[in-house]
Amino acid sequence: MLLVEAIILSVLAASTPLLLAATGELVTERAGVLNLGVEGMMIVGAACGFAGAWMSGSIIIGALCGIVAGMLMSVIFAFMTLGLAVNQVATGLALTILGIGLSGLIGARFVGERITTAPKLAIRGLTDIPLVGRILFGEDAFVYLSLALIVAVWWFLYRTRAGLVLRACGDNHVSAHALGYPVLRIRLLAVLFGGGCAGLAGAYLPLAYTPFFIPGMTAGRGWIALALVVFASWRPGRLVIGAYLFGAVTILQLHAQGAGVGIPSQFMSALPYLATVIVLVLLSRARTGGSTAPAALGTVFVPDR
């Protein structure tokens, strides 16, 4: 295997959890809800995903457990912010703290256990194509699923009526409400979708990345996903660019160090953040000339009856 090929495969794996979690958060925020609990939902997804896979012996069941766990976490968030109209920022932060603690509790029983990782795809004829075969058809299914998901989200947001309604809720919930759309119900669905994606992103870590569970193993990836959504100015296409750019620079700086480039490693470690922020900011300035945050993002909506 060529070095370039090896690097690209590592980039695909490193970017996938970021892309999955950010996709979910993008939909949530597009509906006008700011859920800062991504890290918490991810780590609970990681714990439950590992637990499910370990007990059942099936990666798919593990992934489903991760999704359901992330959704359950987001239900707590939805109950607080949509049901009781509590401040979204505070609730999101609390959700992360809760998630970190809860995942340690759930996962304590499984620390030190091992599972076999999600199998790499092997499609006869396709995976064997030189150079591109392994990259396009030879990683684990999650990698391709995450790409399919973001395409589906793009199509949903910009090409369907339901997507238009969801965006309307995020931009002006009062108008959406006046037009007769069930704002809170739509937001609930968006929050659930975000939770499921974060749970799956978390589950990806123990199921495909490093096949064991350790408390705190998400190591801040949820926060990066959150930042990616902002810097992608809430657009699916840019989100893909951002996630892969971040993953690529992360892996490349490791390789550069191994090859002895002689640039201070502290700078190298900061590079993924710098590069991603700069590129995405340039992208968003070039096209629209500024931020395109959903206008009602983070604001509480209480329908008048």
Partner 1 sequence: MMKRLLGAAAALVLAGSVAGVAHAADKLKVGFIYLGPIGDLGWTYQHELGRQALVKELGDKIETTYLENVPEGPDSERAIEQLVRAGNKLIFTTSFGYMDPTLKVAKKYPNVHFEHSTGYKRDKNMSTYSGRWYQGRYIQGQIAAKMSKVGVLGYIGSFPIPEVVSGINATMLGAQSVNPNIKVKIIWVNTWFDPGKEADAAKALLDQGADIIMQHTDSPAAMQVAAERGKLAFGQDSEMIKFGPKAQLTSILDTWGPYYIARVKAELDGTWKSEDTWGGLDSKMFEMAPYTNMPDDVKKMAEETQAAITSGKLHPFKCPVIGQDGKEVECKGGDHLADGQILGMNFYVKGVDDKLPGK
Among 125, 130, 180, 260, binds partner 1 (CB under 8 A): 260
Cα 160-287-230 angle, rounded to 5 deg: 70
When asked if residue 88 is in the footprint of partner 1 (CB under 8 A), the reply is no
When asked if residue 92 is in the footprint of partner 1 (CB under 8 A), the reply is no
Strand partners, 140: 120
Rounded Cα distance between 72 and 196, Å, is 8
- Given the complex with partner 1, which of 7 and 126 has the nearer CB atom? 7
All residues at 6 or more sequence positions from 134 whose CB lies less than 8 Å from its CB, including other chains: 1, 5, 9, 127
When asked if residue 223 is in the footprint of partner 1 (CB under 8 A), the reply is yes
- Given the complex with partner 1, which of 82 and 251 has the nearer CB atom? 251
| Residue for token pair 């030189």 | 130
Among 211, 236, 242, 294, binds partner 1 (CB under 8 A): 211
When asked if residue 205 is in the footprint of partner 1 (CB under 8 A), the reply is yes
Rounded Cα distance between 124 and 266, Å, is 43
Rounded Cα distance between 199 and 142, Å, is 13
Stretch that binds partner 1, among 4-12, 126-134, 233-241, 288-296 (CB under 8 A): 4-12
When asked if residue 181 is in the footprint of partner 1 (CB under 8 A), the reply is no
When asked if residue 251 is in the footprint of partner 1 (CB under 8 A), the reply is yes
When asked if residue 93 is in the footprint of partner 1 (CB under 8 A), the reply is yes
When asked if residue 75 is in the footprint of partner 1 (CB under 8 A), the reply is no
Rounded Cα distance between 243 and 74, Å, is 23
When asked if residue 262 is in the footprint of partner 1 (CB under 8 A), the reply is yes
- Given the complex with partner 1, which of 178 and 219 has the nearer CB atom? 219
Q: Report residue 237: phi and psi, to 5°.
A: -60, -50
All residues at 6 or more sequence positions from 239 whose CB lies less than 8 Å from its CB, including other chains: 19, 22, 23, 26, 150, 228, 229, 232
Among 123, 174, 178, 219, binds partner 1 (CB under 8 A): 219
Within 108-137, the residues that bind partner 1 by CB under 8 A are 108, 111-112, 114, 117
Within 143-172, the residues that bind partner 1 by CB under 8 A are none
- Least separation, in Å, of the C-beta of 100 and partner 1? 6
Stretch that binds partner 1, among 56-64, 145-153, 165-173, 212-220 (CB under 8 A): 212-220
Stretch that binds partner 1, among 66-74, 99-107, 122-130, 285-293 (CB under 8 A): 99-107
All residues at 6 or more sequence positions from 126 whose CB lies less than 8 Å from its CB, including other chains: 133, 136, 137
Strand partners, 120: 140
CB 75 within 8 A of CB 93: no
When asked if residue 101 is in the footprint of partner 1 (CB under 8 A), the reply is yes
Residue 48 burial (CB count, 10 A): 29
Among the listed residues 115, 99, 92, 122, the one whose alpha carbon sits nearest the alpha carbon of residue 28: 92
Rounded Cα distance between 155 and 205, Å, is 27
When asked if residue 216 is in the footprint of partner 1 (CB under 8 A), the reply is yes
**Binding residues for partner 1, per CB under 8 A?**
3, 6-7, 10, 14, 17, 39, 93, 96-97, 100-101, 104, 107-108, 111-112, 114, 117, 205, 209-212, 214-217, 219-221, 223, 250-251, 254-255, 257-260, 262, 264-266, 268-269
